[in-house]
Structure 1
C-alpha cells in the first residue's frame, strides 16, 4: 500500500491550526467587549453563543434535508460527554474565575499555558499515547513562546490563586483527553451540547451573584465571537483529535496565544516588541519540529468494530449493498491488518510501542 509522504498531516494538522487561529482571534475580540460585559457574563455569552449557533446550523441542515455524514452520539457516549461538560465547561471556567480573583493577571496568563502540558502528560501517561522526543521538543518550544508572551519579566507568584488556575488547567487537560473518546462522533453535536450547558450554567451563576444583563447588542456580539472562537474552533479541535491524537492536536493548538498576540497588534494597536518576535521564533521552531515529524514503522491493526465518518481508504476496505456517497458513516468492522506507513495516534493507530 503506497502513501503520500505528507498524507498523515492531512486533514488533522490544518484542522488543529484552524482551531488555534479561531480561538486565538477570540482573545483580542473578547478584550474589546470587556468594557460592555462583566467578565463572567462574557464567558457565559461566548459558550452560549457557540451552542446556539451550532444548534441553528443543525436545525438548518435538518430543515433543508441536508444529511449528516457524521456518527451521532450514542447512549454509551453519555458518561464521557457528561465528564467533558463537567470538567471542560463547568469546573475549568469556575476554577479560573476563582483563581483570577486571587492572583495577578500576568501570572494567570502564564499559568494557563499549563493546559497543554497537562494534556500531553495525561495522553502520554494515562492513555499510553505515543510521544517521541521530537514532539516533546516542539511542544516545549511552543510553550516557551507562549510563556514568554505571557510573562511581564517579574516572575510568577505561586499563591492560592495560582493553585486554582493550575487546577483549572488540569480540568481542561482531562477535558481534552476525555473528548478524544468522543472524537469519532459528530463534533458539532458535541460542541453544541457543551456550549449550551456550559453557557447557560455560567450565565445562571453570574446572575445569581447579582450581575446585570448586558445590552442585546453587546450580548449578540459576544455570542457571535463565541460561535466562531469557541464553537467552530471546538468542532475543528475534535476533528483534529480524531486524526492526530490528543498530544499532537494540543501541541498545535498551543499556537493560539501567539496568534492572539499578533491580532492584538492589528486590532488593539498594541506595540510590536522584541518579546513577541522571539516568541514567534520559538513557536515557529516548535511548529517546524511537528510538521517534520515522521512516525513510521510496521504496525498491526487488531480486529475492530466502530462507527465514524470515513471514506474507502487503506483502512476501510469493506463492501456495501448499494452505492454510497463519501464520506459516510455506519458501523463497520476492520479485519486484522499489518502494514507500514507514516501515521499519528488517530482512531486507527492507538497501538503500543
Structure 2
C-alpha cells in the first residue's frame, strides 16, 4: 500500500512542519536556562511574525491585505489567543519543570486532542485505523507518565503544563482550519506577530529584564524556523488534510525532539521511555498508511484560494486569463458526485453515513 506521503503534497508539508517544530523544543529547553518562559515565548513568536512578514513583503513586493470574510477574523483571533499566547507560555513553563525528552513525547497529546475536537465539535470523519492510532498514542503518553519514565520522578507539574499547552494548540489547530484557505504566510505571520507582542509585553510588565542582543537574535531565528515556517507548512497541510489528519502527521515532531534531546543534549532516558516511543510510533504509522475512499457529493460552494483546474475546479473565468496556473480568484463549485481517495480538505468536509 502506498503511503499518503507519496500521493499528497499536504502530507509532506505536515511532516516538514513537524521536523521544524520538533527541532525547536529541545533548543527552547536549552534557551530557558536562567531566562523567563513568558519572554522566551514572546521572542519565539516575534521571530516568527517578523520573519514571515518580511517574506510576505518580498513575495508581494509591498503590503497587501488578504481577502478574508469577517467571520474568519474571529477564528484567527481565537487561534492567536489559544495557540499563540496561552499554548507557548504553558509549554515554556512546562519545560522549566520537566526534561525536554519527556516534554517532546508528551506533545503527541496535541494530535489526539486535535482529533477529538475535530471529530466531536467540528464533525470531521474518523475511521477505525485513525482511532486505533490515536489510542496507541494516548497509551504511550500514559506509559510516559509513569514514575521514572524519562529521568523525571513523576508526571508532575511540568507534564500537566505540557498537556495544557497541547489542549491550547488543539483548539488553535481547529480554529486555524477555519481560515486555512486564506494566505498561509499572512495567517502564520499575523499570529506570530500578535502573539509575540502580547507575550513579550506581559513579560516586560512583570519586570523581566531584556536579555542580550545575541540571545534575542538566536531565539527569534529559532522562532522563525520552528514556529513561523513550521506554521506556514501546517496551514498548507490543514488546507489539504483537515485538522485531525494534519495533527496526526505532525505528531512525528515529538520523536524528533526527543531524539535531539537524548542524543544532542545528553539527557538520560530509560527503557520505559522507549516503550512509550514505540507505542506512539506505531500510532503514527497507522495514520501515515491510511487510505480513505468512497462515493461522495460536493455541495455548491463559492470561495477564494490558490488552485489549478483539476477535477474539482472546472469553471470558466469572467476575466481575461492567459492560462497561468496556479492562480487565485473567487470561484464557484458546481454540485458534483464522484469517487476517489480524499481527506477532509477544504473541498471534502462532508458528513459520512
Deviation of the 1:169 alpha carbon: 3.4
Whole-Å Cα distance in 2 between the matches of residues 203 and 7 of structure 1?
38
| 1:291, distance to aligned residue in structure 2 (A) | 2.5
In 2, Cα distance between equivalents of 1:37 and 1:48 = 16
Taking structure 1 as reference, are residues 249 and 293 closer, same or farther at Cα in structure 2, changes over 3 Å only?
A: same
After TM superposition, the score normalised by the length of structure 1 is: 0.86
Alignment of 1:59-98 (within 5 A): 59-63=57-61, 72-94=67-89
CA gap of 1:147–1:235, structure 2 versus 1, over 3 A, is: farther
Residues 8/312 of structure 1: CA separation in 2 closer, same or farther (3 Å cut): farther
Greater displacement, 247-256 / 142-151: 142-151
CA deviations over 1:85-127 (Å, ceiling 9, x no partner): 12222233455567788xx536993765443322111100111
How many angstroms does 1:193 deviate by?
0.7
1:231 maps to 2:228: yes
Matched residue, 2:117: 122
**Which residue among 316, 319, 329 is the counterpart of 1:319?**
316
TM-score (norm 2): 0.86
**Residue 283 of structure 2: which of 281, 286, 295 is its match?**
286
CA distance in 2 between counterparts of 1:257 and 1:150 reads: 15
Residue of structure 2 equivalent to 1:53: 51
Residues in 1 aligned to 2:162 and 2:30: alpha-carbon distance in whole angstroms:
23
Could you list the runs of 5+ residues in structure 1 that have no partner in the other structure?
none
Contact 2:294 2:341 in 1 (8 A): yes
Say whether the 8 Å CA contact 1:113–1:147 is kept in structure 2. no
Could you tell me how far apart the structure 2 residues matched to 1:5 and 1:302 are?
28
Change (3 A) 1:309 1:303: same
What does residue 330 of structure 1 align with?
329
The CA deviation at 1:61 is: 1.9
> In the aligned structure 1, how far is the partner of 2:296 from the partner of 2:231?
31
For residues 99 and 267 of structure 2, what CA distance do their matches in structure 1 show? 16
Q: 2:267 aligns with which of 243, 265, 270?
A: 270
Provide the rounded CA distance (Å) in 1 between the counterparts of 2:234 and 2:24: 15
Match of 1:138 in 2: 133
Task: Give 1:168 shift.
Answer: 4.2
Which whole-Å CA distance do the structure 2 matches of 1:291 and 1:97 have between them? 29
Q: Give SS of 1:231's match.
A: helix
